[in-house]
A and B are shown apart, each in its own frame.
Chain A
Amino acid sequence: MSTSFRIAAVAAAAALALSACGSDGDGAGADGDGLKIGIKFDQPGLGLKDGENYTGMDVEVAKKVAEGLGVAEDKITWVQAPSPQREQLLKTGQVDMIFATYSITDKRKAEVSFAGPYFVAGQSLLVGADSDITGLDDSLDGKLLCSVTGSTSAEKIKEEIPGVELQEYGTYSECAAQVANGTLDALTTDDAILAGYAAQDTYKGKLKLVGGTFSTENYGVGLPKDSEQCEEINEILNGLWEDGTMEQIISDNLGEAGYEYNKELNPPEAGGNC
């Protein structure tokens, strides 16, 4: 995904300092004593911590993968994996794998390994239910667009339509609230993330996705470099699409606002990124 780096200098310093002395092992893995899985804690529909419960598409996929690796659900330890810290969490062995809207990119592949992709998302627009914005076209001209600080998605739109004005916040939640009450006109990022907000109880019927997708984000499973489990996880992921589990997970978690994932790009063929 187009990541947001909500990064405090101190956190960065701490993370880098840790990496210097961290082990580079390939994680505890399925050696019988459970898995530490990194997820987002604040992304509705994808990875959300709600009291003691964890919900969302990434969480459900992670559970199925753990099951395939022979780890029971109660042996999973969920760890928060904010975007700027994901590589460091893997490198230092604080997590065994990461399911956190983690797009596979070449820069990241230099640091970590990826199983998958298990899902292909793309940049889209979330607008108010009665908005006249139709997509990435002239209807956006002069509109107020929202995204998070340090995000590539909003910049892409500014290049296409110079007339848009850009508001940046620290998190997507702030954007969603402002779009729902009409102060801002549109929120842009990966469609899966947008669908998660549109499906939230607070925003049901107030927000809609428009314009299809105009980029490709391959969500992968982040693993420590050269992990031995990578190929095994690829097989599990392909299996999830084949037996329909994946579709079920998507409709359970993101389907409520009528979200349709991109059928041309999904299901992706997992593999090749280990």
Chain B
Amino acid sequence: MQTIFEQFGLLAAFWMTIKLTLWSALFATVIGTLVAIMRLSPVGILRQLGATYVTLVRNTPLTLIMIFSSIALSGVLGLVLASRDAPGGYIATQNFRLAVLALSVYHAAFVCEAIRSGVNTIPLGQAEAARSIGLTFSQSLREIILPQAFRGAVTPLGNTLIALTKNTTIAAAIGVAETALVMRNVAEFDPGLLWTAFGLIALGFVILTVPMGLATSFLAHRLAVKR
């Protein structure tokens, strides 16, 4: 078991999982909120763009998006997200950022739908009341709709975060050194330890995701809009 930590760097891999999760959660929330606003806006073309984004991204396998970001965006189109002398190495930094990009773009679609579900918890009368007292679309969004929508969307957002945490393992497809990559290396170089590695990695994910689930339940209860 010691070997898995020392030779294969399991703890560093879990730290990578956490970093991927946090950065991707941040960007996915930003993109997802923007797309949700587009889908709620009174402008038809924006609504359609938002709907197209969600339909396209949500129905594309994440592995495909991940490989696309590495092979097509970085390889063919020459997208560079890291400098050649980045600390920690050019390729490692580039791959990490590409993985965050892919994870953010993918989960933004789910964040968007989670927020929309939150919006649906708000009685229609509130939007009408906001308009009747003269608030513009952006004012009513900022003051009335979104604050309540986020509170109503805690549970689906939490579910998305848990899914995101586990989906970070797909970053192994482009060589990001996280847990799934450790698992492959163990299988190749020390097959006898495969089951130990499997157990430790499963345990690690439980440790990461169970608190998220508990926090989600707690916050969903605590923040629910009492009507």
Residues of A within 8 A of B (CB): 3-7, 9, 12, 84, 144, 149-152, 165-170, 174, 177-178, 181, 183
Which of A144, A149, A165 sits near B172, CB closer than 8 Å? A149
Cβ of A5 and Cβ of B95 under 8 Å apart?
A: no
Which of A6, A152, A181 sits near B184, CB closer than 8 Å? A6
Q: With A165-B90, A169-B173 as given contacts, are A149 and B185 in contact (CB-CB < 8 Å)?
A: yes
Q: With A177-B71, A181-B75, A183-B75 as given contacts, are A169 and B175 in contact (CB-CB < 8 Å)?
A: yes
Q: With A12-B194, A169-B173, A169-B175 as given contacts, are A151 and B91 in contact (CB-CB < 8 Å)?
A: no
- The interface centre, meaning the residue of A168, A177, A181 with most chain B CB atoms within 10 A of its CB, is A168
Cβ of B184 and Cβ of A5 under 8 Å apart?
A: yes
Q: Which residues of B contact A165 (CB under 8 A)?
A: 89-92
- The interface centre, meaning the residue of B74, B89, B175 with most chain A CB atoms within 10 A of its CB, is B175
Within 8 A of A (CB), among B161-179: 172-175
Within 8 A of A (CB), among B68-120: 70-71, 74-76, 78, 89-92, 95
Where chain A touches its partner, the secondary structure class is: mixed
Cβ of A167 and Cβ of B75 under 8 Å apart?
A: no
Known pairs A12-B187, A150-B187, A167-B91. 20 more at Cβ < 8 A? Answer: A5-B188, A6-B184, A7-B183, A7-B187, A9-B198, A84-B187, A144-B90, A149-B184, A150-B188, A150-B189, A152-B189, A165-B90, A165-B91, A166-B175, A167-B175, A168-B175, A169-B174, A174-B70, A177-B71, A183-B75
Distance in Å: Cβ of B221 to nearest Cβ of chain A = 35
User: Could you tell me the distance between the alpha carbons of A133 and B127 in the complex, rounded to whole angstroms?
Assistant: 66
Would you give the 0/1 interface string for B171-207, flagging 1 where the beta carbon is closer than 8 Å to chain A? Answer: 0111100000101110111000010001000000000
Residues of B within 8 A of A (CB): 67, 70-71, 74-76, 78, 89-92, 95, 172-175, 181, 183-185, 187-189, 194, 198
Q: Which residues of A contact B184 (CB under 8 A)?
A: 5-7, 149-150
Cβ of B188 and Cβ of A151 under 8 Å apart?
A: yes
List 10 A-B residue pairs with CB atoms under 8 Å apart, sorted by A's residue number.
A6-B184, A12-B198, A149-B184, A152-B188, A152-B189, A169-B173, A169-B175, A170-B173, A178-B71, A183-B74
Cβ of B187 and Cβ of A5 under 8 Å apart?
A: yes
User: Could you tell me the distance between the alpha carbons of A129 and B67 in the complex, rounded to whole angstroms?
Assistant: 25
User: Could you tell me the distance between the alpha carbons of A174 and B69 in the complex, rounded to whole angstroms?
Assistant: 13
- The interface centre, meaning the residue of B67, B74, B194 with most chain A CB atoms within 10 A of its CB, is B194
Cβ of A149 and Cβ of B75 under 8 Å apart?
A: no
Distance in Å: Cβ of A123 to nearest Cβ of chain B = 15
User: Could you tell me the distance between the alpha carbons of A84 and B186 in the complex, rounded to whole angstroms?
Assistant: 12
Cβ of A149 and Cβ of B91 under 8 Å apart?
A: no
**What are the 4 closest A-B residue pairs judged by CB atoms, nearest first?**
A168-B175, A150-B188, A183-B75, A150-B184
